[in-house]
A and B are shown apart, each in its own frame.
Chain A
């Protein structure tokens, strides 16, 4: 059972030409999910009834010649971190196993307004804390390229859904690389926009200053389309940026001639898989051949990225997750003799080990007497990293680097939390600076596992980022390869 290699744009064109109906396409995806997802484990919740209703409505609009947008009738998947009105939203955690939000996240509302068909909610590391989707409280997600391997994380379910042909596009969240890393592992495009470009309202917070809503797609143009449908100021998110949203799809043309691309030395150091280095350097040569200027740059603070991130993110998480206490929604473990015992028992039973570890780390980092040494210091380092990137972007238009130091690993392979954390070494800097970054397929290793090229751009300049990514993609054939889930 193979997915017809169709992009969102091709679907829209086919719907418009009445070559195929949105209902038929939705049925096709639902059938693929029913047949293949037991192997992949991408979805936590499938919503066939809602999907069929949305597809039927889309079909009527196409028939009337009035589709809502280029996304009308397109089946997409959402990481289970986005609140969906009336549909259970677990965040991959036992503590929210029964939580049914009474409201839609802004991106969900925007997708619905664009006519998108939501197929369901995808698996994730609990509260988006992880890089393998092994820390979900409910199930393991497998990489469609090799079911023995992880899809990456924390948005592994969404990445696997797109890679495995179980959705035409998907949304995840990227806090330290949680979209770019699984995109690289699963051979799809993952686009983390500028912090504030897409509203976080309704995204269940992990680390507020680092969380980004980010799409997965089969190709760059689809990613541009998904970003365009969801970007823009939201009065419900005080950190959302009030800036015009360009037509990202229209901005794809133009190539990279004249663009200056910086290659940071620190992203090619010890720990980088030589096969990945070869693929990424080859990709940079392709960009040079297309007319881009390539130069070495240095980002010396890169080595502090992981340490800084693992202070800031847990600190914010310890605060954001304080609300899960068994009082208002979600899990409550009864039988405690008083309030403190009820809250303790609920949190002890409701959170997994990784979440508890980060709550403890974060609580410590914010404690009186330690705040300055940890959280305060981390914020200063963050400022230095930001300045360093600003200085680099005075010289170059884009940075090119690997997305991850290694390819998709086997389940259980990285049992040591620190080894897991090091997976994010190349993705964390763009998270901490809020700069837009994209991961696109740039080859396969000897075992046929995908490799990701990461491009990082200037704040709010997703258009240039997408244009360069698109130029590279069009000059290569990696996107044509799809995994065969059997």
Chain B
């Protein structure tokens, strides 16, 4: 692969988390009965007109500002024409020559440190519906259309061809998703299609300033698939070029089952989209004061927050990265740390226990958590204060998850308080020593590890409630006195 340099650019479509559609008042929820979230406007009936959703514009401006793009004082919508039954008007209202924002960047963690990936433009458009084929696509006798998704606001962001490897492309997409989640403008759910990605990839001789012939890959519906598809395509192009062949400019579809890309349509049959300014909408002029008020309300960007987590809380970079994946998660973490000052322990609990249980890190998943951040902090406080052991704590955590109760209540109710009373433990230690003469003999013979067996006996006898540190100290004392 070293014979070529890989050049990748990504086009990311994000469904904006507005309540209503881009140009009409229909709801945008996922999974409703087919065509139940439609009206004459998003069905493209004769006579209907679009009206711009101000909230969608606000979300796009928010994203543009967070990524350092220049928000144009006036932008325009344009019609993009092609015939396809999932698009009711047979044109899509998008933006073409005058997009909402231009020229920004997203910093990602590259293999050799941070990398700045240019963003060429950001614009708004409407989503299309969905075709449902009866049976397999090729053999289908009929196709049905569900227009629920038709008209849902989409924000398209086009990166510059600054990505140099499939890993970087995946890193860009992850970082981009984190920004969207932070800003609360998209739920980032790739399985439901809230975030979709097309990639352009070409190879060239290292050091060359010219771009090679690019191939566009569609249907990349997960981070893993973005990387796999690009790795396959990188290999395919390198083999073709090495063999003296040439790359055909075309659109290829990623077949996730087989892990390969295959040709979808070549540019020779490219559509002429016949863009022209949407005459039903006047140019969208954005009030500078409104833009500034959006800027003032921007949350701390994920990257800055990640760096602050490392410096302020002394967290490893890895922890900081995971905890800042979504704004809700980062805020959850900081709320917990404010309630109990043990940043690393709280991070451990979130990463090893909480996230596993939630099955997601997005705002919605965090919002569903039955465990309040203050409760998680209280749990760590109970451990730190010696009230419960780490082992008991896992049990308490499971109960917190099931009931939503705070750990103090659970510990009190279930009698899980750690036995830290030396007098009570001494009895148990004596019993263990009396019942295990072999362990005592081994210890005397120099096998110091034999004391661990005795500690284990005591813990077992206390049903896990004994303070393990105290038990260990008592066992050591008793044995050394024998």
Question: Taking beta carbons and an 8 Å cutoff, which residues of A are in contact with B?
Answer: 82-83, 89, 91, 96, 99, 101-103, 105, 200-205, 207-209, 235-239, 315-316, 318-319, 322-323, 325, 327-329, 339-340, 343, 363, 366-368, 371, 375
Contact = CB atoms under 8 A, between A and B. Distances in A.
A367 B274 contact: yes
B49 A323 contact: no
B272 A201 contact: no
B423 interface: no
21 contacts: A91-B46, A96-B46, A103-B40, A201-B47, A205-B280, A208-B280, A209-B279, A236-B51, A237-B49, A238-B51, A319-B276, A322-B81, A323-B44, A323-B46, A323-B89, A323-B90, A325-B90, A327-B85, A328-B44, A339-B85, A363-B274
A235 B47 contact: no
Given A322-B90, A325-B85, A328-B145, 6 more contacts: A82-B47, A83-B47, A105-B47, A235-B51, A327-B145, A328-B88
Nearest to B82: A322
A129 to B, nearest CB: 15
A362 to B, nearest CB: 9
B274 A238 contact: no
Contacts of B386: none
A323 B147 CA distance: 14
Contacts of A363: 274
A106 to B, nearest CB: 9
B65 interface: no
A186 B44 CA distance: 35
A205 B90 contact: no
Contacts of A343: 83
B108 to A, nearest CB: 35
Contact of B88 (A204, A323, A339): A323
A341 to B, nearest CB: 12
B367 interface: no
Contacts of A208: 279-280
B62 interface: no
Nearest to A235: B51
A350 to B, nearest CB: 13
B276 A366 contact: yes
A343 B45 CA distance: 17
Nearest to B281: A238
B43 interface: yes
Given A319-B91, A322-B81, A367-B274, A201 B46 contact: no
A460 to B, nearest CB: 16
A329 B81 contact: no
B282 interface: yes
Interface of B is mostly: loop
A204 B279 contact: no
Contacts of A200: 49
Given A322-B90, A343-B83, A368-B272, A238 B50 contact: yes
Contact of B81 (A236, A319, A327): A319
A375 B277 CA distance: 10
B349 to A, nearest CB: 51
B240 interface: no
A201 B24 CA distance: 13
A103 B45 contact: yes
Contacts of B43: 328
For A89, A315, A366, A371, the residue with the greatest tally of chain B CB atoms inside 10 Å of its CB is A366
B465 interface: no
Interface string B274-301: 1110011110000000000000000000
Interface of A is mostly: loop
Nearest to B39: A103
Contacts of B274: 318-319, 363, 366-368, 371
Nearest to A340: B83
A329 B147 CA distance: 14
A236 B49 contact: yes
B52 interface: yes
B365 interface: no
A238 B282 contact: yes
9 tightest A-B contacts by CB?
A: A322-B90, A208-B279, A366-B274, A209-B279, A204-B46, A202-B47, A83-B47, A327-B85, A323-B89
Contacts of A319: 79, 81, 91, 274, 276
A238 B49 contact: yes
Contacts of B47: 82-83, 101, 105, 201-205
B79 A329 contact: no
A96 to B, nearest CB: 7
Contacts of B463: none
B267 to A, nearest CB: 13
B306 to A, nearest CB: 41
Contact of A201 (B44, B49, B81): B49
B5 to A, nearest CB: 31
A83 B46 contact: yes
Contacts of A339: 85
B48 interface: yes
Contacts of A328: 43-45, 88, 145
A368 B94 CA distance: 17
Interface in B406-430: none
A316 B280 CA distance: 10
Nearest to B147: A328
Contacts of A235: 51
B89 A367 contact: no
For B48, B90, B272, the residue with the greatest tally of chain A CB atoms inside 10 Å of its CB is B48
Contacts of B90: 322-323, 325
Given A238-B282, A319-B79, A363-B274, A89 B85 contact: no
